[in-house]
Structure 1
Amino acid sequence: MSTLPTIFILISLFATINHAIEIDYCVGDSNLPRGPEGYACKNPSTLTTDDFVFTGFRGERTTNSIFRNNITLAFAKQFPAINGMGISMARLDLGVGGVIPVHSHRTSEIIVIIKGTIIAGFIDTTNTAYYKKLEVGDVMIFPQAMLHFQINAGDTPAMAIVSLNGASPAVQQTSFSLFAGNLPSKLAEQITHLSHEEVTRMRKLFQSA
């Protein structure tokens, strides 16, 4: 390897490392503009310990939604301290018969079962489904952008904690994307092969959820 390319590689590597440790943290300020790398930073001199603590996972949850679930997010919007850190979390509560319907993120996700029994799985781009009944303490990974789901497989409420490798991983639920947004019914019928009556029923169901 010649000297010039070697120097260039070393400089690039040093610049990357240096950038990674340029600041200790960037607690997001939602009152300032948000860019592609996250929220702008709050003034460090105004921060307290409470800025680095999230208490939103405390307490019990009701699971009376259409899917008998309750999802508590700890993304950058809800927990500004993780802004720019490439990590986020969520609490999943599933009532008896509850599900987290098929959805995807722009990140990978890992799940830890805290209470109950949950069938969790994902479907890859070859349409192969990987799923398993998980017990308390079990952990499963869902690769980046893969469609995945969770189902309460027991006769008692279930709960899990998930972590994602992005501060704002987004959540795209397939059912809501197809039937709760501004996609015309005619197009929904064409791309799903569902009847007009079924698409109409689904739109009423999810737009009111």
Structure 2
Amino acid sequence: MQARTMARASSPLLPCAAVAVLLLVVVLLLLPSPSTAGDPDLLQDICVADLTSAVKVNGFACKAAVTEDDFYFRGLGAAGNTSNTYGSAVTGANVEKVPGLNTLGVSMSRIDYAPGGLNPPHTHPRATEMVFVLQGALDVGFITTGNRLVAKTITAGDVFVFPRGLVHFQKNNGDVPAAVVSAFNSQLPGTQSLATTLFAASPEVPIGVLTKAFQIGTKEVDKIKSRIAPKKS
């Protein structure tokens, strides 16, 4: 009789414990899921990109015949041609140049700067960038979403980081060429140069948007477009 009384007395504790566990599970489910800074983890040893495939996936379809050349690229050894409007040249070593990078979540670039050369303000929507200075000196910086400029002068052997998605630039203010190697945590980080994106888009950004955004007239817009828009053959 005493055992039954004790059982009845303790039985209300069981539902309370169950409710507590249920509440804990609900709270855990409602917590924000952890974010990842790079591409999704691969699900097999390799998935060499088939750049000719018409299959559209988040990345590239895997090709069947794989060779060592799919993992090889020698394009970063030589300086790029900087005889252009900005005086800079970017040589990419991403999945489009190295198909073996598909699903691996990394890529590189080499950037060369003529004296006075500029890698104009741009963003990488899918990756953080880290640059290592090979030669010369550069004024570099990025702008936060709070409109704060974070800038520094870097020289040979230095490293500087540009957070993912933030507008950034590099400028060679010296009288000798400069060069960096950039590393990205994406196989294809993407690049949006602000000036080109806004003034050379196809179809064109409405001129009323540009004049109001930059507080300039239509003549100024046309002048900028004539210098930035790709030349028609």
Q: Smaller-chain TM-score range?
A: 0.7 to 0.9
Residue aligning to 2:44: 23
- The one-letter code matched in structure 1 to 2:162 is F
Instruction: Summarize deviations over 1:110-139 as a string: whole Å, max 9, x none.
Output: 111111101111000011000111011111
- The one-letter code matched in structure 1 to 2:124 is H
Find the partner of 1:82 among 78, 86, 101.
Answer: 101
Instruction: Summarize deviations over 1:60-82 as a string: whole Å, max 9, x none.
Output: 33211110111111121122111
Residue aligning to 1:197: 219
Of Structure 1 and Structure 2, which has the larger fraction of its residues in strand?
1
Residue aligning to 1:178: 198
Find the partner of 1:102 among 105, 116, 121.
Answer: 121
CA contact (8 A) 1:63 1:93 kept: yes
What RMSD in Å do the two structures reach over aligned CA positions? Answer: 2.2
- The one-letter code matched in structure 2 to 1:138 is D
* Structure 1 residue ranges, 4+ long, deviating more than 6 angstroms after superposition: none
1:2 Cα deviation after fit = 4.8
In 2: Cα distance, 1:120 partner to 1:34 partner:
39
- The one-letter code matched in structure 2 to 1:67 is Y
In 2: Cα distance, 1:110 partner to 1:58 partner:
18
- The one-letter code matched in structure 1 to 2:199 is F
Correspondence list, 1:148-187, <5 A: 148-181=168-201, 182-187=204-209
Structure 2: gaps (5+ residues): 1-19, 30-39
- Secondary structure of 1:25 counterpart: coil
Q: How many residues align?
A: 196
In 2: Cα distance, 1:166 partner to 1:58 partner:
21
Instruction: Summarize deviations over 1:8-40 as a string: whole Å, max 9, x none.
Output: x9xxxxxxxxx9463111110011135442111
Structure 1 residues 173 and 114: CA distance shift in structure 2, 3 A: same
**Greater Cα radius of gyration, structure 1 or 2:** 2
1:54 Cα deviation after fit = 1.0
In 2: Cα distance, 1:77 partner to 1:52 partner:
11
CA contact (8 A) 1:33 1:39 kept: no
Identity of aligned residues (%): 30
Q: What TM-score results when the alignment is normalised by the length of structure 2? A: 0.78
